[in-house]
Amino acid sequence: MVSVARKNLLEDLPRFLVAQAGIMFAVSLVTIQTGIFNGFTRSTTQIMEHSQADIWVTSESIVHLELSLPIPASKVNDAQKVVGVANAEPLMLRGAIWRNSLQEIVLVRIIGFNPNGQLFTPQNVTQGNITALAQPYTVMVDGTNLTTLNVSDVGEVEEIATLPARVVGVTQGNRSIISNPFVFTSLENANAYANSGQSATLSCKLQAGSSDIQCTNVYTQPDPETTAAPKPLAASDLITHVLIQAQPGENLQVLKQRIETALPNTRAFTQAELIRHNQQFWQQRTGIGFILGLSTVVGVIVGVVVVGQILYSSVTDHLKEFGTLKAMGASDWKIYSVIVEQSLWMAILGYIPSMILCYGVGAWTMATQGIMILITPMSAIAIFGVTVLMCVGSAAFAIQKVTRVDPAIVFKA
């Protein structure tokens, strides 16, 4: 029976290749959409995964990690006094405007942290050193955002708000699909950028041969050597989160309650809880999860239609062969096994090249765009199961055709 299944598949090679192309398209669509969804979900938690904090303290009005009311920096000292807290560090997330040498503006997300601290560090630093961020008006950016920010090399000076921003390092893979480009810097620099307004000199001139006056804003790029150094963080300055390292053996749930009691109007999360809270917001309270899920369903439907059509056509072309098997006494289950085996071969031969293609696409998007198409071993196994179900399920259309085969068809002209 195995030889019959293979013969039916490979007898018409062009048709077989077209069928496999259809399956590859369906499997690739499901895999990439699932990978984008997984990568999107992972990208929303990158900042938390860069942290070694056991507990995150934020405003009680938090919506998700980047949308929360600020809290005063004095909360860091208050948290340090709580029994069971080994270390507490501030973290600042602020939006700002990046202005490059071409006077183009880009919205960025400033991430201010303590370069000498222990609870937060940008990962995958490919150029420069974290300690350089302790210098006034220095920043690190991700390599995938260099073109967007118009930065070609380390050492260039651009501008954030009205203050200089000297690029002293480059990271790799620190990019979120849902956020503006990340700009890492020290707390003092981040606070200075956040409190710096936009300013410009208005230049006006009389147009030749006309009484009209044309005015334009002229921006002068600040010089980091002459700009006053940012002030240390004061207790009244605003931050976004307090990162907590617990004492060894401390019960995190009990410590959370102590922290929330000692710090009014705040909410404490373990790292796992905050990751789950963030993921649930983007998956359930936005339409992104629905759209990606719908695309996956469309991919499965396309695969079922393609495979079902190919198998049905193959059975139709080989009705006499199936009639011969019936006339020789083969049971219906033996004949059904031929069709099911054909569908399994199509599933396997369509799945393997599809996964190779998807892994290649994922590596390319990560290297060039910083966008993660995450294909985990579990998701790969799940997609293989979906592929098998898709192909075997579509065989039902062809089986219905064989069920009605009359063995007498063998003797018809």
What's the pLDDT at 201? 47
* Stated pTM of the model: 0.72
What's the pLDDT at 200? 46
What's the pLDDT at 90? 93
Interacting residues of 79 by C-beta distance below 8 A, sequence separation 6+: 57, 85, 88, 242, 244, 259, 262, 263
Taken in order 233, 235, 241, 242, the sign of the CA dihedral is: positive
Q: Is 228 helix (H, G, I), strand (E, B) or coil?
A: coil
Q: Which amino acid is at 399?
A: I
For the CA atoms of 142, 147, 150, 154, the dihedral, rounded to the nearest 10 degrees, stands at: 40
What's the pLDDT at 63? 85
Enumerate the domain spans of the chain: 2-43+287-411, 61-264
Cα–Cα nearest to 95, from 66, 120, 63: 66
- The tokens for 91 are 């973290």
Q: Residue 209 burial (CB < 10 Å; 0-12/13-18/19+)?
A: exposed
Q: How distant, in Å, are the alpha carbons of 164, 188, 395, 400 from that of 407?
A: 86, 86, 21, 15
DSSP H stretches of helix in 209-331: 252-262, 271-284, 288-317, 319-327
Question: How confident is the chain (413 residues) per 10-residue block, as mean pLDDT?
Answer: 58 72 80 81 79 90 85 90 90 88 85 90 87 91 84 86 89 78 91 72 53 53 66 86 90 91 90 87 76 75 71 66 67 73 81 88 79 82 83 70 58 52
The CA distance from 151 to 143, in Å, is 9
